[in-house]
Amino acid sequence: MTKKISYGFMYILAAVWLIPLIWTVWTSFRPKGLALSSSITFDFTLANFSHVWQAAPFATYYGNTLFIVIGIFAIQFFTATMAAFAFARLEFWGKGIVFMLFLAQIMIPADVLIFPNYTILRDLSLLDSKVGIMIPYFASAFGVFLLRQMFKSIPFELDEAARMEGCNLWQILWRIYVPLSRPVYVSFGLVSVSYHWNNFLWPLIVTNSVENRPLTVGLAIFAQSFETGAQWSEVTAATMIVTLPLLLGFMVFQRQFMSSFIHSGIK
């Protein structure tokens, strides 16, 4: 009986969570005159998406966002992999202390570092640039922790066998540890891409030009503009354009996403 109540409570929470998403999808396909109408009709149109795509440079925003999220994850892939391998398999003085200090970054909100990061980018003349958006996120304490947990679960006998075959540390890392940790890389990639795809405050502060704005900043400017501020059909259509890739990505990789966290020791 308790189990049924728990499942029922979870279904209710899931339904409540889906209400805003369902409303957004429904409104984005509704004609402008019926966007806020209480009557339930099945009049749908794609004109909202067409108008939104032409009214704002969403193609440029998409290109900027893809460049930013892919670039950040590519750098994080190398930095997190090498740091996690060092913490998992190498022995050096003060490793435990260094690792604890490294993990302390997870407890520090990114917003706290906005001012010092902005000052550094200003001194480097990197304001209003895609590289300026990316630099503060080239290292990920969460990624290092996740990969370290996975690397420590790999049997050490594989290292010894590889050394007997003549492999050095670099070859052991990229030929054994990285392939065996593929599910963890998938989950970390989803977390990294979704975070930076939705990141708003830092790109808003750093960028001033259309050529460097990501989707989140472009969507906010579009929604607050005088022409579209009260046109809910177009605003929700723009929201769907921004969020649809993330929803599809999570649906495709959700099984790997959940299993990788379980195998990494995070319950």
Question: Mean pLDDT across the chain, nearest whole number?
Answer: 84
Beta strands in 96-208 (DSSP E): none
Per-residue model confidence (pLDDT) at position 67: 96
- Calpha distance 20→240 (Å, rounded): 12
Average pLDDT over residues 20-31: 83
Identify the band that residue 266 occupies on the pLDDT scale cut at 50, 70 and 90: very low
Identify the band that residue 205 occupies on the pLDDT scale cut at 50, 70 and 90: very high
**Is the pLDDT confidence value at 42 over 60?**
yes
Contacts of 117 (CB under 8 A, 6+ apart): 135, 136, 202
- Calpha distance 157→90 (Å, rounded): 15
Higher pLDDT, residue 123 or 24: 123
- Calpha distance 37→79 (Å, rounded): 52
Average pLDDT over residues 59-65: 93
Per-residue model confidence (pLDDT) at position 228: 47
pLDDT in tens, 118-150: 999 999 999 999 999 999 999 898 899 989 988
What is the number of other CB atoms lying within 10 angstroms of the CB of residue 111?
A: 9
**Is the pLDDT confidence value at 59 over 50?**
yes
| Closest CA relative to residue 141, chosen from 95, 84, 92, 179 | 84
**Is the pLDDT confidence value at 101 over 90?**
no
* Domain ranges (residues) in the chain: 57-263
Alpha-carbon 32 to chain mean position? 32
The H helix count followed by the E strand count for the chain is 14, 0
Report the amino acid identity of residue 106.
Answer: I
Q: What percent of the chain has pLDDT over 70?
A: 89
Higher pLDDT, residue 72 or 262: 72
pLDDT in tens, 73-91: 999 999 999 999 999 888 8
What fold does the segment set 57-263 form as a domain? MetI-like fold (1.10.3720)
Average pLDDT over residues 162-188: 88
Contacts of 139 (CB under 8 A, 6+ apart): 76, 79, 80, 83
Identify the band that residue 96 occupies on the pLDDT scale cut at 50, 70 and 90: confident
Our CA dihedral for 205, 211, 212, 215, rounded to 10 degrees, sits at: 90
Identify the band that residue 213 occupies on the pLDDT scale cut at 50, 70 and 90: very high
Higher pLDDT, residue 71 or 47: 71
Per-residue model confidence (pLDDT) at position 37: 65
Query: Would you list the DSSP string of 227-243?
Result: TTTT-HHHHHHHHHHHH
Per-residue model confidence (pLDDT) at position 267: 41
Identify the band that residue 36 occupies on the pLDDT scale cut at 50, 70 and 90: low
